[in-house]
Structure 1
Amino acid sequence: MTTSITAREISSQPEVWRRGIADAGQLGRLLGTDGERLLVLGCGTSAFVAESLAVLRERAGLGLTDAAYASEWLPGREYDRVVVISRSGTTSEVIAALELVGPGPVTAAIVGVHDSPIAALVDETLVLDFADESSVVQTRFPTTVLAMARTAFGENLESAVAEAAAVLDVDLPVAVGDFDHFVYLGTGWTHGLAQEAALKVREAAQAWAESYPLLDYRHGPIAVAGATSLVTVFGPVDPSLVADIEKTGATVQVNALDPLVQLAQAQRLAVELAESRGLTPDSPRHLTRSVVLS
């Protein structure tokens, strides 16, 4: 069994989720009261989490919630609250975005460390140091944020935690060496998960990985699917789409696991694929723990 830091942090997720879920009210308060207009910003993994959070909050009926890449956002729409997500608390583009927020909105940050530059710029801070990671590749920090948010929005994740504990302790359902093309599909809040899963495969294993909205896959991207493609769907899917993908020769993964557990499986796949290629997932090529620009 692998002993990489990344693998150990992936396997720790059920325990870390339980701890986060117990304090989900803190995150719920940070994400604003019912009816507040909210903007969530992040870069990379945090941008995908922001997208999922926005969908989940609106689905819970709590009010307008937008998500954007911190590197792309410019002032325009009016918000009551702006929340940024940054594990390190040092991401340059997030700092730059916060400096563009004018007077009026409450600003808040979800970070993994204390005493960070980003925390010093906002009105409210939630530090999830118990979910922080040593690895460059993010795994348990983003999933814990989502587990806490879903709980704060009224979901019960006891079964998801139990599923994760069981799934992360057994072999993957596929042999990673059989594939060289990985596709992840999601809809609604799971589209953010699909993007994050593909990013993990690219980061850790330097492999060809893509992500798309579920029903948009037939509108072009399916053209490159073939016998060495593994297509994973987050959540339920119409059997007709599965059939269309299988006609290409691709293998389709569909299961009844909670989508957050599916993301943890994708993280494991990324690590196993990296190691099968002689790579060290703890040290992804060209990447550092935080992007800090001079």
Structure 2
Amino acid sequence: MTTHTEAEIASQPSCWRRAVANIPADALPRRGERVAVVGCGTSWFIAMAYAVLRERAGHGETDAFAASEFPQGRRYDRVLALSRSGTTTEVLDLLARTSDRSVAITADPDTPIMTAADDVVVLDYADEKSVVQTRFATTQLAMLRASLGEDLTQAIADAEEAVAAPLPDALVRAEQFSFLGTGWSVGLAQEAALKMREASRSWTEAYPAMEYRHGPISIAAPGRVTWMLGTGTEGGRTLGEPGDHRRRRGGVRQGREQARVGRRDRHRLGGRPVGGHAAEVTLRKNEQVDALLGASLQDVRKVTGGRAAQPRLQRGNPQPVAAGMTLHVTPAWGGPLTDVPFLCASPQQLR
């Protein structure tokens, strides 16, 4: 039987196609504006990706923040708030405080964010039932990329093919995953790690590609996967060389190699010997950055779904994750939430 998660993964390419065909240009940031993009969790990582893409496209200075960490007093021409649920506490608090013009992107038109922002873009067709959600996030990123003038035709085609491709069993059984990115794919790497962690309780980490060699590479070992989103070459440095065994699918070239991380291979992975000895790492690469919205993210979601299907997990509703987080906290001293030095709450309290 098809689960909510499986159905939502399969439907993403059609949602992206609809999003890029209906860009609300009047509501979204305009060229030359100084923009802050805010969100929580997945929305924050999408904000990170969009911020890099917007600056790279020459549309203007763009900063990305976790909504709770937005710098008070800093002025922007527009604040773009991302919230699928439309009820995210930190996002609503920020919109209430800012005097900058604001626009929100949400999936639910019956939520407080509809009146909290000056303009609202509703992508209700991309809303989801599963707790570990991906369709709305990738749909809004598709729309935002298209608003910058990008052609996503190939990325969408790659994603459709990725949905139908077989799932490698070795990835389902892997012990640990490290996701790497460069430029805008740093945010995607963070999102990939978060989704796999939420859905299957897997050990996942994420880093800018060249930071991987500064300590994190020490966990590389047989049975663990290092997943490169992109080529690892933005900024002129290269992480890894493609293996000899590759298959080409659409515009995405994927390769997996067993790379020796030792003294003679420092030039390949940029790493130092692990514990004084060579170690093996499976390097899985999705190399065409322009297609990252397509096949590589779908690959990650398929692997996540396969790992979440293990009997120990209730697929589509992992605990203790909830679909939306609204904080109701009253400090003993009666101060605002921002004055709470440390918050530890159960899932029942975070509702």
Instruction: Give TM-score, length-normalised by structure 2.
Output: 0.79
Partner Cα separation in structure 2 for residue 207 and residue 50 of structure 1: 24
Partner Cα separation in structure 2 for residue 231 and residue 123 of structure 1: 42
Equivalent pair of 1:177/1:276 in contact (CA under 8 Å)? no
Alignment of 1:1-294 (within 5 A): 3-24=2-23, 26=24, 28-102=25-99, 105-237=100-232, 241-242=239-240, 246-247=260-261, 248-256=279-287, 258-261=291-294, 262-294=296-328
Q: What letter is aligned with 2:224?
A: S
Which has a greater percent of helix? 1
Q: 1:96 to 1:226 in 2, by over 3 A?
A: same
Secondary structure at 1:211's aligned position in 2? strand
Identity of aligned residues (%): 44
Q: 1:209 to 1:245 in 2, by over 3 A?
A: farther
Secondary structure at 1:280's aligned position in 2? coil
Q: Identify the structure with bigger relative contact order (alpha carbons < 8 Å, sequence gap 6+).
A: 1
Partner Cα separation in structure 2 for residue 241 and residue 153 of structure 1: 28
Instruction: Give TM-score, length-normalised by structure 1.
Output: 0.93
Deviation at 1:245, TM superposition (A): 5.8
Partner Cα separation in structure 2 for residue 177 and residue 266 of structure 1: 11
**Unaligned stretches of 5+ residues in structure 1:** none
Equivalent pair of 1:222/1:245 in contact (CA under 8 Å)? no
Deviation at 1:174, TM superposition (A): 4.9
Which string of whole-angstrom CA distances, capped at 9 and with x for unpartnered residues, describes residues 24-62 of structure 1? 2x1x44332111111111000000001111111111111
Q: 1:134 to 1:265 in 2, by over 3 A?
A: same
**CA RMSD across the alignment:** 1.7
Partner Cα separation in structure 1 for residue 201 and residue 104 of structure 2: 31
Secondary structure at 1:241's aligned position in 2? coil
Q: 1:168 to 1:183 in 2, by over 3 A?
A: same
Secondary structure at 2:164's aligned position in 1? coil
Structure 1, 262-271 or 47-56: larger mean CA deviation: 262-271
**Unaligned stretches of 5+ residues in structure 2:** 242-257, 262-278, 329-351
Partner Cα separation in structure 2 for residue 246 and residue 95 of structure 1: 49
Deviation at 1:276, TM superposition (A): 2.5
Equivalent pair of 1:36/1:62 in contact (CA under 8 Å)? yes
Partner Cα separation in structure 1 for residue 200 and residue 96 of structure 2: 35
Equivalent pair of 1:47/1:69 in contact (CA under 8 Å)? yes
Which string of whole-angstrom CA distances, capped at 9 and with x for unpartnered residues, describes residues 114-147 of structure 1? 1210121111000000111111111111111111
In terms of Rg, which structure is larger? 2
Partner Cα separation in structure 1 for residue 307 and residue 74 of structure 2: 42
Deviation at 1:70, TM superposition (A): 0.6
Which string of whole-angstrom CA distances, capped at 9 and with x for unpartnered residues, describes residues 197-219 of structure 1? 00011100001000000111001
How many equivalent pairs are there?
A: 289
Secondary structure at 2:72's aligned position in 1? coil
